[in-house]
Amino acid sequence: MTGFLKIEGLSKAFVPAKPVFADVSFTLERGEFVCIIGHSGCGKTTILNVLAGLDTATGGHVFMDGREVAGPSLERGVVFQGHALMPWLTVRRNIAFAVESRWPGWSRAQVNEHVEKYVALVGLSAAIDKKPSQLSGGMKQRVGIARAFAISPKMLLLDEPFGALDALTRGTIQDELMGIVRETQQTVFMITHDVDEAILLADRILLMSNGSEGPGGYVPGGIAETVINTLPRSRNRAGLHHLPGYYELRNHIVDFLVTRAKAGGDH
């Protein structure tokens, strides 16, 4: 185990005596898809933002590929719940903007060819010269995903990227994302509230608890448990609940969220 991404003793406190989370340590191997799941307020978005270089931790370190993460970088592609597209630019230009930042020496033809490849990958070739206002929510999220993949990041960070989509669109894009991740062997760290989404996509699922007042005083949030997904990697959304072991896995995670994620019992 080399640990392509290493998180060591990470903590975040807005109030010094009551850190949101403390002593969070885990690793991701190259090509691994890891989901983190937990209630609002446990600090999972803060962790993702620290990995993205968009926020700083109060304590601890993050290393990617042997170097400490400090500040944002094109080595890490980020997709948030809101697509964050520039509304005055077409799909083509939104993605080209990122590609040109990543490879400033490329010719216009090289950039265009590269952009078209990734737009095709998410099934949006017909909409490549449309502006975001002409696209549905699901299409906008696909553009965001294409843009993140197009810069060939060493790692992809996804913060509930399908949270605002309807179930049908969500299922389609999940299957697409899974296909692209398998094809590109991308390393992915993703936040989700959706237990089935985590089971579908992740190789490992980190269960995160909230900080709470215990009998001995305040207990910060943290990674309470790591669940290894033993379902076959060839799984898809439609067949998920037919797989042996699926219900045990799902019940285990749901039980954690209902009974153990908030240790103080204050749900």
| Segment holding 38, helix H or strand E | none
Confidence class for position 266, pLDDT limits 50, 70, 90: very low
* Distance of alpha carbon 96 from alpha carbon 113, whole angstroms: 10
pLDDT per position as a tens digit, 5-25: 999 999 999 988 899 999 999
Angle, CA of 155, 194 and 191, to the nearest 5°: 25
Main-chain phi, psi angles of 91, to 5 degrees: -55, -45
pLDDT at res. 250? 96
**Positive or negative CA dihedral for 94, 99, 105, 106?**
negative
CB distance 240 to 200 below 8 Å: yes
Q: Residue 242 domain-assigned?
A: yes
| Structural domain that includes position 199 | 1-63+189-267
195 lies in a domain?
Answer: yes
For residue 90, the model assigns a pLDDT of: 96
Mean pLDDT of 196-219: 93
Q: Mean per-residue pLDDT for 137-142?
A: 88
The answer to whether residue 68 sits within a structural domain is: no
Assigned domain for 4 exists = yes
Q: Answer yes or no: is 201 within a domain.
A: yes
3-state secondary structure of 138: helix
Q: For residue 69, is it within any domain?
A: no
Q: Which position has the higher pLDDT, 112 or 235?
A: 112
Under a CB-based contact definition with an 8 Å cutoff, are residues 9 and 59 in contact?
A: yes
Provide the terminal-to-terminal Cα distance of the chain, rounded to the nearest Å: 37
**Res 265 pLDDT > 70:** no
**Per-residue pLDDT tens for 56-83?**
999 999 999 999 998 888 899 888 877 6
Residue 11 lies in a domain: yes
- Domains held by the chain: number: 1
Report the mean per-residue pLDDT for the chain.
Answer: 90
Separation CA 97–CA 55 (nearest Å)? 23
Measured between alpha carbons, how far is 239 from 222 in angstroms, rounded to an integer? 32
Q: Mean per-residue pLDDT for 197-210?
A: 95
| Edge-to-edge order in the sheet of strand 222-228 | 76-79, 155-159, 187-191, 33-37, 204-209, 222-228
In a domain, 238, yes or no: yes
CB neighbourhood size of 148 (10 A): 22
pLDDT at res. 161: 84
Q: Is residue 264 pLDDT above 70, yes or no? A: no
CA torsion angle 153 47 6 197 (round to 10): -70
Q: Check which CATH number belongs to the domain holding 248 and give it.
A: 3.40.50.300
